[in-house]
Every structure is written in C-alpha cells, then in structure tokens.
Amino acid sequence: MTVPEKRVETRLDPYVDVYAQRTQGLRVSAVRALFAVANRPEVVSLAGGMPNITDLPLDVLGSVIGDLIKSRGPQIMNYGSGQGEERIREQICEVMALEKVEASPDDLMISCGSQQGLDLVTRTFIDPGDVILVESPTYVGALGTFSSYQAQVVHVDTDEDGLIPSAFRAATIAARAAGRKVKFLYTIPNFNNPSGVMMSIVRRRELLEAAKELDVVIVEDNPYGLLAIDVPPQPALRSMDGGQVIYLGSFSKTFAPGFRVGWVLAPPAVLKKLVLAQESATLCPPVFSQFAISEYLANWDWQGQVEAFRSMYRERRDAMLRGLDDHMPAGATWTRPKGGFFVWLTLPEGFDSDQLSARATSHRVAYVPGTAFYADGLGSRNMRLSYCFPTPERIYEGTRRLGEAIAEEIELRTTFGLVNPKSALSVGHGRESSS
Ligand SMILES: Cc1ncc(COP(=O)(O)O)c(C=O)c1O
C-alpha cells in the first residue's frame, strides 16, 4: 500500500540530515513530559520543582515596577551591559556574603537564570567528548545542557554527606588514564536537586583539596543555599577557595524564577570569556528584570521574605516526611533534607520507578522517576519527590496515594510470585530512612 505523500511528511522530520550533530543529544526532559499529567487538578504533583511564590508582596512589586517604568522606562527597557548592570552586581555581592563569599561586582556576570550560566560555562569549556564529573544523582537540566555540548558525563558516588572526595579522585584518574580531558566537576553542594543532600563542611574541604591537587575546576551550582531549613546557610565552596571554583547563583528560588536573573562568579580570565559568550548568545541579560530585582532588594525586607520562605518550606518538608513515615513500605528508604525542595526515595529491591509511574498516576499522584537524574541509566529504584509547591495537606495526601500505588504493586507481585510474601514487604512500617 502506498502512503500518501502528505502523511509521510508529517511523520518524518524533513530536516533530519541538516541538523548539527549536537542535537542528537537533545532529549525531552522527563520532568516536562510529566507536566501534562502532573498539572491535572485531581493529581497531587510531587513532580515539579516550581517554587511557591504566592506569598511574595505582589502589591509592593506592582507599584515598584510601575514607578520604575514611569521614572526610568527608556533606560530599563533598552539594551544594557553584557556583564549585567553594576547596581545589581553590587547587591549580589551582599547576597553572597551570607554564604561567606567575598567578591567584587567586577568578578561576576548576570545570566538569564543560573541555567544560562551553566550553558555558557559548558560552551566555554567543553569540546565533544570532554569529561564532566557530576554527582550521583544530579540535576536533570544540567544533564541536558552537558549532552547538548556532547560532553561525556561521569557520575561520582555520593552518600548522606554529599560527594565522596575519594570517588572524585578515582573518577578523575580513571578518565585521564583513558585519555580523556576532565574539564570540570559540577556539584550542587546545598540540598542537591534531586537528592536533597547537603555536602558536609569536612567534605567541602577535602573536595577542594583534591580538586587543587588534581587541577580540576569546580562548578558550584547553588540555587538553594539560602533555603536551609534546619541549619544556617553553609559556607559556599567558593568562599573556601577562590581560585578553583566557578560559582552559579540565582534569584529563582529566593525570589521568583520568572525574572530569569542568575549570575556567574568566576576567575577574571574565565569571566572575560563568559561575557563574550553572553554577548554572542543574548547581547545582554534582561535589563528590565535586573532593575526590578534591584528595586526589590533595595526597598523590601528580602531577607525577611527568605526567612518566610524557609518556614513555609519547612512545614511542607515536615508534611512529606510524616507522610512517608506513615505510608511507605518496609524496605523503602528516603533522604531527610535539611533544606531545598526535594526528597530522594529508594524503592524496595526489585521495584522500578519508571514502571510504577503509570500506577501512581492512576492513584492521582505524580513524581519524577530516578533515571532522569542519571546519564547512564541508573536510578531505576529511585524517585524524586518535591515538597515545594503543593500545600502540606496535599503533600501528605500525595504520599498516602503513593503508598497505595506501591501496596497495589506489592500485592500484584506477591500474587504472581515475584516477591516472597514472607519478606518484609508490608505497608506502614517504612521508618528506615537515611539522612
Ligand atoms: C540545581 C539547579 N540548578 C539550576 C537551576 C536553574 O535555575 P534558574 O531558574 O536560575 O535558571 C535549577 C532549577 O530548578 C536547579 O535545581
């Protein structure tokens, strides 16, 4: 049977031979693919990582931004500096001082969210095949960026204190022995997305020492550092050693992601290259957003607002941990984050979170399967559970529904002899959790 020509065109991409090779690494983000399901009102979404910004002072912001347009519209709606506006760079230095970072406004560049900072750093350092070391697991958006520049991603083991420096050493040495160039280590030391784990201070010191010895650049991504819940904000890696670290910051979680304002703090030679990369990508970061955030920082008790966010997220984190304690089966473990947005859950042996996802959806709860956070297919027993967006009641209910979905799966597996019914797989006794 011949297929009508028009139909073939809609099924096959006519541009396939024209695309650059680097597009082969582009994948639909697992998180984005889930959005359609997770956004349905009857579903409790523990999937998305959207900050809850409904408590921001919208009336104050509205009048501040209105006044800005009236008084300085022609300036703030025009092109600006590729490095970013001086005033906000000064203010960012004050923000970073809360994590003990000493920097001057000349040392940093504004980016369109830290995501663009990461893109520009990757573009500046990576040739196809170069190695980037990352935590196990790591941020799905970073994996997307790294694969779009055809990097080879190597995961480094972590535990409840964060990245393990000896594993970092071993991975670096092995990659070099295989003739690869290790360009940088990408780490999220504070409340890692997706694991929620915070790197201990001792580990930070050991890691910096190892990086110096092996001459590996560290890219420190720190969007959650000020959203510490049980501990004070931790000193940034960058505050402990200025020479080895490129630091990425963002207003997305402590203020609002829609302004798309982040920053990169880098050694002078690197910064020069990044500004050139920024100019070729966007000419300049959004001037309007930078002015709006500057006014907010200058005229509002923004530190009080961050404190309010911290207690709001604490309540949500507690609801999730309570729910998991009450509803998870024995054999499941999960992290107990001291800040940030995420809990990382490990299912009992033999379970697959990708497969469980459809059953969870039928129980009206969504999560992100763990494989999204690995470049090498690992993570099938894991899932990322976000507590940032739903209310505490909905979060608790979400864990109840998840428990129901897992219990159903256990029942099915027991019926088909896939688990030993005498094993400890029973619901409601899952207090085995790691920190
Ligand atoms: C670890 C990490 N880095 C970077 C980003 C991107 O943030 P931004 O909105 O600043 O681009 C996110 C967003 O979720 C994140 O979790």
Tell whether the model's pLDDT for residue 131 goes beyond 50.
yes
Please report the atom of ligand 1 found closest to the CA of residue 49.
14
Burial of residue 409 (number of CB atoms within 10 Å: 0-12, 13-18, 19+) = buried
Using the atom order of ligand 1, give the atom closest to the CA of residue 250: 10
Alpha carbon 359 to its chain centroid, in Å, reads: 26
What tokens does 152 get? 């080879």
In angstroms, the CA 35 to CA 46 distance is: 11
Q: What is the token pair recorded at 45? A: 């979404």
Identity of residue 98: L
Q: Indicate if ligand 1 lies below 6 Å from the C-beta of 340.
A: no
Position 4 pLDDT exceeds 60? no
**Domain boundaries, given as residue ranges, for the chain:** 21-55+305-424, 58-299
Nearest ligand 1 atom to alpha carbon 192: 1
Residue 236 CA to residue 245 CA, distance in Å, equals: 10
Q: And the tokens for 297?
A: 């920082």
Q: What is the distance in A from the centroid of ligand 1 to the CA of 273? A: 22
Q: At residue 249, what is the residue type?
A: G
Task: Return the structure tokens found at 119.
Answer: 């893109």
Strand partners, 262: 111, 250
Counting atoms of ligand 1 from 1, which one is nearest the CA of 251? 10
* pTM for the whole structure: 0.92
Q: How many CB atoms are closer than 10 A to CB 27?
A: 14
Q: According to the model, what pLDDT value does residue 294 have?
A: 95
- How many angstroms does the Cα of residue 300 sit away from the middle of ligand 1? 24
Distance 119 CA to ligand 1 centre (A): 11
- Assign 6 a pLDDT band (cuts: 50, 70, 90): very low
- 146: Cβ below 6 Å to ligand 1? no
- Specify the CATH number of the domain 21-55+305-424: 3.90.1150.10
Q: Which of 115, 188, 290 to mutate to test the pocket of ligand 1 (most atoms within 8 A of CB)?
A: 115
User: How open is the CA angle 86-87-92, to the nearest 5 degrees?
Assistant: 95
* pLDDT for 242: 64
Rounded to the nearest whole angstrom, what is the distance from the C-alpha of residue 416 to the centroid of ligand 1?
Answer: 43
Could you tell me the two tokens for 170? 């071993």
What average pLDDT does range 417-430 have in this prediction? 50
Nearest-CA residue for atom 8 of ligand 1? 113
| Cα–Cα distances in angstroms (integers) from residue 217 to residues 15, 242, 288, 304, in the given order | 38, 11, 33, 34
Q: How far apart are CA 339 and CA 234, in angstroms?
A: 11
Find the 259 Cα to ligand 1 centroid distance in Å. 13
> Identity (one letter) of the amino acid at 208?
L
Q: Which amino acid is at 336?
A: R
Q: Residue 251 C-alpha to ligand 1 middle, in angstroms? A: 10
Instruction: Report the topology of domain 58-299.
Output: Aspartate Aminotransferase; domain 2 (3.40.640)
Cα 256 to ligand 1 centroid, rounded to whole Å: 12
| CA-proximal residue: ligand 1, atom 14 (nearest) | 49
Q: How many CA atoms lie within 13 A of 30 on its CB side?
A: 22
User: Which amino acid, 60?
Assistant: V
Taking only the tens place, the pLDDT of each residue in 218-273 is: 999 999 999 999 999 999 999 998 689 999 999 999 999 999 999 999 999 999 99
pLDDT, tens only, 53-85: 988 989 888 998 999 999 999 999 999 999 999
